[in-house]
Chains A and B, each alone.
Chain A
Amino acid sequence: MIGWLEVPRAWLDSFGEIARFGVKVAGQVYSGRVFKFFGESVRQAGILIFGSALIIWAFVFILGLQCGLQGAYFNRSIGAPSLAGLFSAYCDLREGLPYAFGYILAAKVGTGIVAEIGAMRISDEIDALEVMGIQPITFLCATRLLGAWIAIPFLYLIGIGLIYAASYFSVVVQVGDVSSGGYLLIFWMYQSPPDLIFSLIKGMVMATVIVLVGCYYGYTASGGPIGVGTATAKSMVFNIVAVHIIGMLGTVVFWGANPRAPIGG
C-alpha cells in the first residue's frame, strides 16, 4: 500500500532526474550529434505522423465541439449569444488546443515512447547498442526529440484548423443562435497572429516535455515486463501535472499582463 505523500515525493524526485536527463538529450540535439542519425529522426517523425496524427486531430476536434457548445450556451445565458465567437476564440486558440494537445500527446506519444524504449531496455537491446559503439541516448532519445520537433508544429497548425471548424460547427450549426457571418466577425476579431505564435510555443513546450519524460521513463525502466507497465503509468502521472503547470505558466507569461483584446484604447 502506498502512502499519502508518495506521489508528490516521487514527482519531486523524478523532476530533478528528468531535468538532468532532458538537458542531456537536448544537448545531443543542439550539439548536432543527432544529425549522424538524421534518417532515424525523420523515420521517427514519420511514425509520429502516421501513427498518432489522426487520433490527435480527432481528440482536438472533440474539444473544439465542447468549446463551441459551452461558449454558445454561456453567451446565451448572459444575453449576448452573438458574442459566442469571443468565447470560442479564447477557448480554441489560447487554452483548449494546448491542453487537448498536451493530454493526447501524453496519452498516445508519451506512453508509446515509454512502452517502446522500456521494452528495449528490458530485453537488453540498449546495452547491445552501447556495445556496438552507438550512443543509446543519441540514437533513441535525441532522434525522437528531433523527430517530434520536425513533425509536431505541423500537426499543431492543422489541429488549429480542425478545432476552429469544430467550434464553428457546434456554435453555428448545432446551437444556431448566431449567424455564420456574425460568429466569424467576432471570432476573427478576438485573435491575432501573435496569439497563434504564443499558443504554438505553449504546445511545443508541452510536446518537448512529454517526449523527454517518455524517453526518461523508458530508458530507466527496470523489473521485467511488469516494470514497463509501471513505468508507462508513472510517465502519465508526471505528464498530467506537467501539462497543467506549463499551460498555466504559459497563460501567465503570454496573456497575464495584457489580455490582447480589441477593447478600449
Chain B
Amino acid sequence: MSRGLLPVKNVFEEVGVMMILTVKTLVSAVKPPYPYGEELVWQFLFVLKLSWFPLVISTFALNFGAPGLQAAGILSLIGGLDRLGGFFVVIAIRWIGPLVTAVVVAGVAGTAITADLGARKIREELDALQVLGVDPVKNLVVPRFLALMVITGLLDIFAIVMGLSAGIAAELLYHQSLGGFFATLFSNATITDLWSSVMVCTMFGAIVAVVCSYKGMSASGGAAGVGRAVNQAVVISLMAVFFFQFVVSSILFATNPELQAVR
C-alpha cells in the first residue's frame, strides 16, 4: 500500500477495533455474572464530581454569549425580544446542551479515564489482571461505559437548565419581562426535543467511553505514551461526537416535521 493512503488505513483500523470493543462491552455488560456494581457507582460519582463545575460554567458562558447576547441583540433591533425563548429551544435544548455536555465529559472525564487506564496498562496491571483470570473489559470498561452513558444523559438536563438560565440572564440584561420568554419557550418546546436531546447525549457518553477506554488500554511507549494516548483519545472523541451530532440532527429534523412547525 502506498504511503499516502496509510493514514486512511489507520483510521479504518482504529474505527474497526473500537467497534469490536463496543460490541464486546455491550455483550459482557448484559451477560451474567455482574461483578461491576461497586465500580459502577464509584465511577458514576467520580465523573459527576469531576464534571459538574466545568459543565455549569461552560454551559452558562456559552449560552449567555452565543445565543443569548447575539440573538437578543438582533431581536431587540426588530423589537421581538420575547422570541428569544423560542430560539433557546433550538439552541440550548436541541443543540448546545448535548454538544457541550459531550465536550465537557470528553475533556474532563474521558481524559481522566484514559489517563487512569493508560497508567494501568503501562504498569502492566492489565496484563496481571488477565493472568489472574479477571476480564479487563468486564471489570474496567463496562462500569465506565455504563456510568458515562447514564451520567452524560443526566448532565444534559443540567446543561439545559443552565442554558435556559443563561437565556433568562440575557433577557434580564435587556430589561425585558420574562413572560414573553417563557411563553415562546413553552409553546415551541416539544417532548421530542427533550427526549432526543437526552438520548443523543447518552449516545455521546457511550462514544466517549469507548474511545477513551480503548485509547487508555492500548497506550504504549513509557512516559510520553500515556500523554499521547490522552491526546488522541480526546481528539477522536470530539470529532466523533461532532460528526455524530450532525448526522443525528439531520435525521431527526427530516423525520420529525413537528419540529419545523411555526408556533
Q: Chain A residues in contact with chain B, CB under 8 A? A: 1-4, 6-8, 11, 55, 58-59, 62-63, 65-66, 69-70, 73-74, 76-79, 86, 90-91, 94-96, 99, 103-104, 106-108, 111-112, 114-116, 118-119, 122-123, 174, 224-226, 228-233, 236-237, 239-241, 244-245, 247-252, 255-256, 258-259, 261, 263-264
Contact = CB atoms under 8 A, between A and B. Distances in A.
B46 A251 contact: no
Contacts of A228: 223-224, 226-227
Secondary structure dominating the interface of A: helix
Nearest to A108: B235
Interface in B213-263: 219, 222-231, 234-235, 238-239, 242-243, 245-246, 249-250, 253, 259-263
B94 A115 contact: no
Contacts of B260: 73, 76-77
Interface of B: 42, 45-46, 49-50, 52-54, 57-58, 61-62, 64-66, 69-71, 73-74, 76-78, 83, 86-87, 90-91, 94-95, 103-104, 107-108, 111-112, 114-116, 118-119, 122-123, 188, 219, 222-231, 234-235, 238-239, 242-243, 245-246, 249-250, 253, 259-263
A248 B64 CA distance: 7
A213 to B, nearest CB: 12
Contacts of B52: 4, 7
B235 A104 contact: yes
A58, A79, A104, A111: residue with the most chain B Cβ atoms closer than 10 Å: A111
B94, B227, B234: residue with the most chain A Cβ atoms closer than 10 Å: B227
A1 to B, nearest CB: 7
A128 B74 CA distance: 57
A118 B46 CA distance: 25
Contacts of B261: 77
Contacts of A250: 65
B242 A261 contact: no
A263 B235 CA distance: 40
5 A-B pairs with least C-beta separation: A115-B227, A259-B73, A229-B226, A229-B115, A233-B111
Contact of A232 (B76, B104, B227): B227
A94 B91 CA distance: 15
A91 B118 CA distance: 37
Contacts of B74: 86, 90, 259, 261, 263
Contact of B224 (A58, A76, A86, A115): A115
B58 A237 contact: no
B227 A94 contact: no
